[in-house]
Structure 1
Amino acid sequence: MESRATNSIQLDDAMLDLVAGTLTRNGSIVALRPKSFLLLCHLASRGGQVVTKSDLLDAVWPDVFVTEDSLTQAIRDVRTALKDETGRRLQTIRGRGYLLDTTVSPPAARPGGGTPLPRLAVLPFRLRPERDDLLPRLEMLGEEIAAGLARYRTLRVISSASARRAAKEFDDPAEIAARLGADYLIDGAALAGQDGFQLRLTLIRSESEALVWSETFDCQGDAILDAQSGIVPRVLAHLVSGIETEGHARALTRTTESLTAYDHFARGQALWSSDDPELARHSLAHYEAAVAADPEFGLAWTHLAWAELALNDYSLAPSDVMLRAAERAKRGVALAPYDGRTHTGLGYIKALSGDYSGATANVAVGLSLNPSSVDCLMDHVVVSICRGRPLEALALLDQVLDLCPMRVSYDAHMRGEVLFMLGRYSEAADAFLGSTNLSNRRRTFLAGMLAKAGRHAEAIAQLDTIAREDPDWDHIGNAKLGYRYENDADRTHLEDAIRLAMELRRES
């Protein structure tokens, strides 16, 4: 892991110091020839990114003609120095170049070491009798309770999406907990009233199925707006000690002062979680209504920005839409500075706009505020992809999978994009095929993946589908707009794959 203060990078049991110009192990200098050391430094400065052979040749042997044999020998020297003969740390990316993995991904544990953090899932709350007007409000309360708990470093909160699916598939709490890997479950039953409901919450220890805590909360009318701030500390009191004071204050912050805004936001969220892009328009209308009812509702401004970008296929959005989304996301941060989701949402939009360093800064702040938020992690994935850091993105996606074990194809196209960057083309295509929504932009990318994987008939079939839907579709032009990369090599890699697919179709 790199230290910004010292520019030192830990590579297993060796330490590379870019300022001192040394590679050491246990305090002793590791012998490495000058060109091989220069190669290691260049790869380290692009840690986690694929570096092409031509880039390495230009960097290490400028103005000197050498064959690839010199590069191969230097790679061999570096692997020997790092005790990495298998190529786990310094990876060969087939057909592209090399990648030095500078990431460190320790398992989630208590700060300072110790036993793993307790894992908690908030199950979907039940409403009796069922009321269509109250159900989104109840679901939203569950989401915000989970979000409030996710702000603590002393907990790991499993995503609500996985909790909902597990509850649909299993009736037995023990089975639900086992499938989610949850140490504790929060279950809730609500009794509908005239203008809201009474909510009975229970906290269950999964291993023994013992009831840890139970309490009833009044959620009639505006009282629901205070419910989250009352529930979160009661749950925490039974789970963890040494609660961070700052995090505690943030978790008790209201999202909105308006019940009308709360209801519209809840309905927007219910539609958004369905993964159907056609419903984004309806979500957008609800988010617009939410900020109209409460212009100080920061998270609603963030989701309003996301929804409009989704309607315009994200990076393909016109410049005026992109600018408006950025302004709305900035407003979300200003109004809700303690909610990490507003910061990472702005980072996501900055990455799509080409402000890559700004995007990185925003997601870092967001994850420091909401370390267990799947939304924050996914925004970070997008930024890592745009910046050409596939190993970092893959590690983040694994964290998402850990917190969201039941969500099918939640990250399908992102995982596919990362695997493509790593040259794992057939795996990338299979991941993309797991996506429920394949726009023409994504189909074009998929065709390139399939072509590079040697699955030519499938690649041609994807382009045939696009041709039927939009005969004038510009594969290369829309790929340049639709996938924003900081590094030219990543753009060229994608465009070359698409051109290969197009050539296969012409020849068929």
Structure 2
Amino acid sequence: MESDSGANAGTQGAERYRFGDIVVDAVAYTISRNGQSVAVEPKAFSVLLVLLRHAGQLVPRDELLDAVWGHRHITPGVLTRAIAQLRAALDDRAEPHYIQTQHAVGYRFIGVLEPEEAILATVPPNAGGLAQGAVTAMSASPPAAAAADTPSAISVSDHAPSPASPYAGNERRGARGLWRWQWAAFAVVMLALAVWAWREHRPTRVRAAEPSIAVLPFTNLSENRDNDYFAEGLAAEMHDALAGVQGLKVAAQVSPATVLKQGGDVKALGALLGVSTVLDASVRREGQRVRINARLSDCATGYTLWTRSYDRQLSEVFDTQVEIAEEAVRSLIEVLPKQSEAMARRLTPTRNAAAFDAYLRGLQQLLAGGEGSEAKAVGFFDSALKADSGFARAQAGICRSEVAAFRHRHDASAFERARDACTRAGKMDAELGEVNVALGDLYQAHGESGEAVEAYTRAESDPVSRPSAYMGLAMMHAEQGDHQRALALSRKASALRPADARIFAYSGYYSYLAGRSQDAIAAYRKAVELKPDDAIYWNTLAALYVGVGDNAAGMRALERSIAIEPGPEALTNLGELKYQAGDYAAAVDLHTRATVLAPADYLPWGNLGNAQLAEPATANKARATFQQAATLAQGYIATRPADGTALAALGWFLANLGRAGEAREMLMRSEQLKGEQAEIALYNAQTFALLGDTEAARIRLQAARAAGLPETRIVSNVVLRRAGLTPDRARENAVQNTVPSTPGKS
């Protein structure tokens, strides 16, 4: 079933709620109070929609976590924060009138919902914005068009004197006729003006001088909030397809937070993004059917140019996307047949709906990060390939997921799986942008810079893959020590994807490598603002705070990370804080837990060895731990021999195993490579101190300080202290405020 209603379309299926002075528009993704927009985080907005859809019913806490976050192992604290945000936004804090809490059970919406007619009556007919666009569609027409459709609205009889007037006599008939003629002439003039205004704003084509568009996040209206990935994926596919159309300017992908900040105002969004139109849609998926309501709005007037509704089988979603894209482009510019074909190909990566669904789930996991996300992504991509064995983008997704596992977990076996997946993807479609990005990642991870540059350059020619190509090239420049070039490329990528938290995270890493710690912290603060539920970003922010000596802020960020998900990175970083504070037993416990979660990563094993060495009760276990760390590091370095930090760590592990010659060899190799200079210098200072060369250790400590390593890391180091390189008094002064509090059980 399908409808094409143009500017006069109805809003059947629109989802809006009013209670008190609050209006919530699920399609526009807005909340307004007393006519003023109120911003909340996307997850909080989703919580509100669930409560409104079950108004009067108790929604258990676990069901809310399932519906909004997709799983229950997230701490209930994130839900508590979302409810607190909603109470502030709805002014429902003193004595709740809208959201009732049933302690330890769940929440209930207790407000009185008003009928939709009351909502429409409160919206000014000339108001701009997405919410207004929906209302405009329900009215007969835009204000100017209304006059054109009803020329008798200014009629002679309405304005002629009545028979009871002083001019009702026969002696005034001539004057009365002239009066009627004047009003008739005025009506003709008004009609002409109305027609002119309608032509200016008619819903057929935007002025040719402004062929530009922004694709807003699609709203998931499904009962199951797990389908967020589906709506998000469709919006991303639409954006990427339109980005490849010559002559059409497409704004960078927009985050839901950006739409909320602008209150869903089309005019404001157009001014912010520099576009003449915006495309938004709602998606409702129920079983094997999907309903999509799409709308194109003019940013100059705020009017809806056209709306279309599609109610189809899930297997027809590709054709639906193509039709929406073609309709949007036709409203803006004429396109060549070849461009239209290319756009259709982009929107039809497979003809198998199950394969496409699994692919979108895989992308969601790959971009989400978190414990086990790479393995989950591979599982979904593999399911997509089982449904469609020629799905090149899914095969490239496996390659990128395995490369990510290799980078993040130092898992050497993941690299071999990545190589196999990339080889398969290249055979499927060597020209595809995603395939070339995956190949670039693979070559870059293996240190094959020439091949990586060639792959990223091929990917750069594809508008869809250009931001990822920039980020791949940025990583290569960063590893070669050209941090300024890396940051410049990151900025180019961010300009194309300003809502992508990963780009800010990588920019923060490059700033850290450049010794610009405060810039790194600022970049990661932006990353957690865009993606507040990402445990890894909070953990890295914590490490950066600790790196500049602000252990109190580091502890707060770690508590946030562990509350979201107690991953190995956060646990090992918390272990390091305990080590610095001299609580070696707690450090041993935390690092042990990290090795259980990341058994193939040498770093948690090395940190565990350090803590065991410092704690008398476990010192006898340190050798076996360092042996495991060395074995894992050697496997990682065999695949990535240019990682200076890993080489320095291996030198330290070997020194603890009594293999002094090999330790010195790793040490010298590490200092010939670019990398995390402060970490390399600290590892090597420890190694020289253990080998008895205190003068060489002092030189490395000077280098570590010059590279920005905080004094707390140096004076709390047990090996350096035992070698007489750090006085106990200095250590006491440096670490007395290291750990302000101990987080709860994670």
Q: TM-score range by the shorter chain?
A: 0.5 to 0.7
Deviations 1:357-381 (A, max 9, x none): 1111111111101257544443343
The equivalences for 1:197-212 within 5 A come to: 197-212=290-305
Q: Distance in 2 between matches of 1:218 and 1:190?
A: 10
Q: Distance in 2 between matches of 1:156 and 1:317?
A: 42
Distance 1:206 1:278, change over 3 A: farther
Query: Would you say 1:346 and 2:439 are equivalent positions?
Result: yes
1:382 maps to 475
1:295 maps to 389
Q: Distance in 2 between matches of 1:464 and 1:505?
A: 10
Alignment partner of 1:304 out of 394, 398, 411: 398
Deviates more, 1:255-264 or 1:190-199: 190-199
Q: Which is strand-richer, 1 or 2?
A: 1
1:470 maps to 591
1:359 maps to 452
1:420 maps to 512
Give the share of equivalent positions with the same residue, in percent: 18
1:120 maps to 213
Q: Say if 1:152 and 1:370, in contact at 8 Å, map to a contact too.
A: no
CA apart distance, 1:155 = 4.3
Deviates more, 1:266-275 or 1:137-146: 266-275
Query: Would you say 1:149 and 2:281 are equivalent positions?
Result: no
CA apart distance, 1:328 = 1.0
1:314 maps to amino acid: H
Distance 1:284 1:372, change over 3 A: closer
- For residue 200 of structure 1, give the secondary structure of its aligned residue in structure 2: strand
Q: Distance in 1 between matches of 2:477 and 2:343?
A: 27
Distance 1:128 1:337, change over 3 A: same
Q: Say if 1:177 and 1:183, in contact at 8 Å, map to a contact too.
A: yes
Deviates more, 1:483-492 or 1:364-373: 483-492
Q: Say if 1:196 and 1:220, in contact at 8 Å, map to a contact too.
A: yes
Distance 1:473 1:243, change over 3 A: farther
1:166 maps to 258
CA apart distance, 1:276 = 3.2
Q: Distance in 1 between matches of 2:255 and 2:478?
A: 27
- For residue 491 of structure 1, give the secondary structure of its aligned residue in structure 2: coil
CA apart distance, 1:195 = 2.4
TM-score (norm 1): 0.63
Distance 1:128 1:416, change over 3 A: closer
1:329 maps to 422
Deviations 1:215-271 (A, max 9, x none): 344541321133333333332333345659468526524211211111112222334
The equivalences for 1:186-265 within 5 A come to: 186-190=279-283, 192=285, 195-217=288-310, 219-240=312-333, 245=338, 248-249=341-342, 252-253=345-346, 254-265=348-359
2:10 maps to none
CA apart distance, 1:392 = 2.9
Q: Say if 2:213 and 2:275, in contact at 8 Å, map to a contact too.
A: yes
- For residue 674 of structure 2, give the secondary structure of its aligned residue in structure 1: helix
1:410 maps to 502
2:440 maps to amino acid: G
Larger relative CO (CA 8 A, sep 6+): 1 or 2?
Answer: 1
Deviates more, 1:497-506 or 1:353-362: 497-506
Q: Distance in 2 between matches of 1:128 and 1:429?
A: 36
Q: Distance in 2 between matches of 1:429 and 1:284?
A: 31
- For residue 411 of structure 1, give the secondary structure of its aligned residue in structure 2: helix
2:411 maps to 317
1:414 maps to amino acid: Y
- For residue 322 of structure 2, give the secondary structure of its aligned residue in structure 1: helix
Q: Say if 1:370 and 1:376, in contact at 8 Å, map to a contact too.
A: no
Q: Say if 2:402 and 2:417, in contact at 8 Å, map to a contact too.
A: no
- For residue 255 of structure 1, give the secondary structure of its aligned residue in structure 2: coil
1:109 maps to none
CA apart distance, 1:432 = 4.7
- For residue 385 of structure 1, give the secondary structure of its aligned residue in structure 2: helix
Q: Say if 1:356 and 1:387, in contact at 8 Å, map to a contact too.
A: no
Distance 1:288 1:466, change over 3 A: farther
Distance 1:350 1:494, change over 3 A: farther
1:66 maps to none
Q: Say if 1:351 and 1:484, in contact at 8 Å, map to a contact too.
A: no
Q: Say if 2:362 and 2:381, in contact at 8 Å, map to a contact too.
A: yes
Deviates more, 1:279-288 or 1:490-499: 490-499
Q: Which is helix-richer, 1 or 2?
A: 2
CA apart distance, 1:178 = 4.8
Q: Distance in 1 between matches of 2:222 and 2:307?
A: 21
Distance 1:367 1:271, change over 3 A: same
1:209 maps to amino acid: G
Distance 1:324 1:444, change over 3 A: farther
Deviations 1:392-425 (A, max 9, x none): 3222222233233345x43343112322343423
Distance 1:212 1:388, change over 3 A: farther
1:491 maps to 675
The equivalences for 1:1-80 within 5 A come to: none
CA apart distance, 1:346 = 1.7
Q: Distance in 2 between matches of 1:198 and 1:457?
A: 49
1:401 maps to 494
The equivalences for 1:450-465 within 5 A come to: 450=547, 464-465=576-577
CA apart distance, 1:147 = 1.8
Deviations 1:337-367 (A, max 9, x none): 4431221122012101111111111111111
Q: Say if 1:347 and 1:359, in contact at 8 Å, map to a contact too.
A: yes
Q: Say if 1:445 and 1:498, in contact at 8 Å, map to a contact too.
A: no
Deviations 1:103-122 (A, max 9, x none): xxxxxxxxxxxx99965332
Distance 1:391 1:176, change over 3 A: same
Q: Say if 2:494 and 2:504, in contact at 8 Å, map to a contact too.
A: no
1:72 maps to none
Alignment partner of 2:523 out of 401, 423, 431: 431
Structure 1 residue ranges without an equivalent (≥5): 1-114
Q: Distance in 1 between matches of 2:393 and 2:352?
A: 13
1:503 maps to 714
Distance 1:294 1:397, change over 3 A: same
Deviations 1:454-495 (A, max 9, x none): 779989987724853327643798699589669945237354
Q: Say if 2:403 and 2:445, in contact at 8 Å, map to a contact too.
A: no
Q: Say if 1:166 and 1:179, in contact at 8 Å, map to a contact too.
A: no
Number of aligned residue pairs: give it: 388
CA apart distance, 1:286 = 1.5
Q: Say if 1:264 and 1:287, in contact at 8 Å, map to a contact too.
A: yes
Alignment partner of 1:269 out of 346, 363, 367: 363
CA apart distance, 1:138 = 3.8
TM-score (norm 2): 0.45
Query: Would you say 1:283 and 2:377 are equivalent positions?
Result: yes
Distance 1:170 1:271, change over 3 A: farther
Deviates more, 1:328-337 or 1:363-372: 328-337
Q: Distance in 1 between matches of 2:504 and 2:283?
A: 35
Structure 2 residue ranges without an equivalent (≥5): 1-207, 529-533, 556-572, 580-586, 593-603, 608-628, 645-670, 684-703, 718-725, 732-746
Q: Say if 2:507 and 2:523, in contact at 8 Å, map to a contact too.
A: yes
- For residue 255 of structure 2, give the secondary structure of its aligned residue in structure 1: helix
2:302 maps to amino acid: E
User: Over alpha carbons, which structure has the higher Rg?
Assistant: 2
- For residue 296 of structure 2, give the secondary structure of its aligned residue in structure 1: strand
1:305 maps to amino acid: C
Distance 1:492 1:280, change over 3 A: closer
Q: Say if 1:152 and 1:371, in contact at 8 Å, map to a contact too.
A: no
Q: Say if 1:341 and 1:370, in contact at 8 Å, map to a contact too.
A: no
Distance 1:498 1:302, change over 3 A: farther
